[in-house]
């Protein structure tokens, strides 16, 4: 557990408290009680947890997932991924995320139940997109045209389905989850190859989506 800096900001407190909430949420749920216990572990006034997460459970879950985003990149830096093929990078990144969540699988299950509530659908979709974007960027993807969106949309769906299998998987070493993920990544790669053949036929055609992508990420 990283030590807090002197006089931490709310953002620094949020980052430090979020993974500790996950450690308590298996018993207390994603509730103020879990947040207060997490703050107490850090020696922080429990009331500060309320200031860090005024939006309640969804903000706590959001912060934990952001923590997993950062921890994933620390666990698999660019030099560790460089020697892998693209499918191996994506598999490694998804598996890294699952490994980071594994000690708190019950908390993850409870988080998924909250994300599945109709009122949280938009926020849940954004979190899925953010995770997929983080993985594709870590894998070295630089697409700025419609591929940017299709890759992330597909991976977000694959990741969500894999997490749903993972929280129910009691096989040794989560073998069932790994097999499920491998099959889904095979599907992604087949889709990318088929898409490449189709789009290659129209390489010289003007592309509105490519133009919009360049506006979003200007060439340097």
What domains can you pick out in the chain, each with its CATH number? 78-200+209-216 (1.10.357)
Looking at residue 210, its pLDDT comes to 52
Looking at residue 208, its pLDDT comes to 45
Range of weakest confidence among 44-53, 54-63, 208-217: 208-217
Token pair in block for residue 181: 């993920």
Q: What is the pLDDT of residues 131-183, one digit of tens each?
A: 999 999 999 998 888 888 988 999 999 999 999 999 999 999 999 999 999 99
Token pair in block for residue 12: 């620094």
Q: What is the pLDDT of residues 68-126, one digit of tens each?
A: 999 999 999 999 999 999 889 999 999 999 999 999 999 999 999 999 999 999 999 99
Looking at residue 17, its pLDDT comes to 96
Token pair in block for residue 120: 């949280």
Confidence at 213, pLDDT banded by 50, 70, 90: low
In this predicted structure, the answer to whether residue 218 has a pLDDT above a threshold of 60 is no
112 contacts: CB under 8 Å, gap ≥ 6: 163, 164, 167
Confidence at 211, pLDDT banded by 50, 70, 90: very low
Confidence at 37, pLDDT banded by 50, 70, 90: very high
CA distances (Å), origin 199, targets 192, 203, 205: 10, 6, 10
Closest CA to 39 of 59, 23, 62, 16: 16
HSE of 186 in the Cβ direction (CA atoms, 13 Å)?
6
CA distance 216 to 219: 10
CA distance 87 to 185: 7
CA distances (Å), origin 59, targets 30, 54, 137, 140, 173: 10, 8, 24, 29, 31
Range of weakest confidence among 15-29, 36-50, 116-130, 205-219: 205-219
In this predicted structure, the answer to whether residue 1 has a pLDDT above a threshold of 90 is no
Looking at residue 193, its pLDDT comes to 73
In this predicted structure, the answer to whether residue 220 has a pLDDT above a threshold of 50 is no
Q: Over the Cα atoms of the chain, what is R_g? A: 19
Virtual torsion, Cα 112, 116, 117, 119, nearest 10 deg:
110
**Residue 170's CB: how many other CB atoms inside 10 A?**
7
Q: What is the pLDDT of residues 9-33, one digit of tens each?
A: 999 999 999 999 999 999 999 999 9
């Amino acid at each position: 557990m990283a030590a807090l800096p002197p006089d931490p900001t709310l953002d620094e407190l949020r980052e430090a408290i979020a993974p500790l909430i996950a450690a308590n949420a298996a018993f207390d749920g994603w509730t103020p009680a879990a947040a207060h216990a997490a703050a107490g572990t850090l020696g922080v006034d429990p009331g500060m947890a309320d200031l860090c997460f005024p939006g309640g459970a969804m903000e706590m879950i959001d912060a934990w997932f952001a923590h997993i985003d950062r921890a994933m990149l620390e666990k698999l830096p660019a030099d560790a991924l460089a020697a892998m093929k693209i499918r191996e990078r994506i598999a490694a990144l998804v598996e890294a995320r699952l490994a980071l969540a594994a000690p708190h699988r019950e908390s993850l299950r409870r988080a998924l139940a909250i994300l599945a509530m109709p009122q949280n659908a938009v926020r849940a979709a954004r979190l899925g997109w953010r995770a997929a974007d983080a993985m594709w960027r870590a894998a070295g993807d630089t697409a700025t045209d419609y591929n940017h969106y299709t890759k992330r949309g597909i991976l977000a769906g694959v990741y969500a389905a894999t997490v749903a299998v993972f929280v129910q998987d009691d096989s040794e070493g989560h073998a069932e989850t790994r097999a499920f993920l491998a099959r889904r990544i095979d599907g992604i790669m087949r889709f990318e190859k088929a898409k490449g053949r189709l789009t290659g036929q129209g390489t010289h055609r003007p592309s509105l989506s490519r133009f919009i992508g360049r506006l979003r990420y200007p060439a340097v």
